[in-house]
Amino acid sequence: MTWSIDITPLNDLKKHEVGGDCWCNPELNEDGVWIHNSLDNRELTEGKPHA
C-alpha cells in the first residue's frame, strides 16, 4: 500500500490538488512528500496525509 503526504500552504488563495498534478508544480522530496508552492510564497504551514 502506498500513500503520500501533501504539504500545502494553509488557506491559500487557490485550492491545491493532491499529488503532482497541482497548478503550483509541487516537488516530491526524498521522503515521498509533495511540497506545494503557495500562490504568494508564504511559509508552508500544513501537512495532510491522504490515501
Site of interaction with Zn ion (CB under 5 A): 16, 22, 24, 26, 36
Residue type at position 40: D
Shortest Å, Cβ 11 to Zn ion? 13
CB nearer to Zn ion: give 2 or 25: 25
- Tell how strand 27-28 and strand 46-50 pair up: unpaired
Residue type at position 22: C
Shortest Å, Cβ 9 to Zn ion? 8
3-state secondary structure of 37: coil
Shortest Å, Cβ 49 to Zn ion? 16
